[in-house]
Amino acid sequence: MFPLNIVVFPGEKLNLHIFEHRYRQLVSECQANDSTFGIPVYLEKGVAEYGTEIKILSIEKKYPGGEMDIKTRGMGIFKIKHFHKQMPGRLYAGGEVEEVPLHLEDAPLERQKIEELLKKLYHALGIQSLMLTLAKDFKAFDIAHHIGMSIEQEYQLLICPTEQERFEMILAHLSVIVPIVLETEQLKERVKLNGHFKQLLPPNF
């Protein structure tokens, strides 16, 4: 296992620079045995109960000092049954895990509401290009890193048992932050106008 202070979602591609000796050992053994490793989420209280299985796609570069750049992809989600800070005869951590079923059933109504909020959010932030890269049948995990969630929120999303619940969590989050972002943009415009000559129509009274 390779605990990190990030959440990796199933299907996500992740590039890592491996520099610690224990994780260079882990990557080398996974590559030699064509095996996967796990990234459990590391939160403030320590190693969390859930994580993501990671497949090494390629070792892109090896450095003279033994460091390496690797490309990986998130696979499934696991729950840790027993965690060991150091595996016997190894430098890295490990443990026993159980696979968590990945339910990706469709939730078209929630997706439509989320899409409408995303358009408003990305327009306000000036990053409309993100909408162009989004598939029409996008899943919750596809957008989770692009909606301003904290790592704790992303972790809660990771452990949601169904796609319906994940979409509902995202919808609740966007319903809170989008009005705040829009109000902030309006405030910026008001600040910009302060001090300018104004042509105002007096009220008729």
Q: Which two tokens stand for residue 86?
A: 């150091």
CA 106 to each of CA 77, 110, 141: distance values in angstroms, whole numbers, following the listed order: 19, 9, 13
Q: What is the mean pLDDT of residues 180-189?
A: 84
With a cut of 60, say whether residue 197 has pLDDT above it: no
Q: Which residues contact 98 (CB under 8 A, 6 or more apart)?
A: 78, 79, 81
Residues paired with 54 in a beta bridge: 37, 74
- Domain limits of the chain? 13-100, 108-193
The CATH label, of 3.40.50.11540, 2.40.110.10, 3.30.70.1880, 2.30.130.40, for the domain at 13-100 is: 2.30.130.40
Q: pLDDT, tens digit, for every residue of 72-92?
A: 999 999 999 999 999 999 999
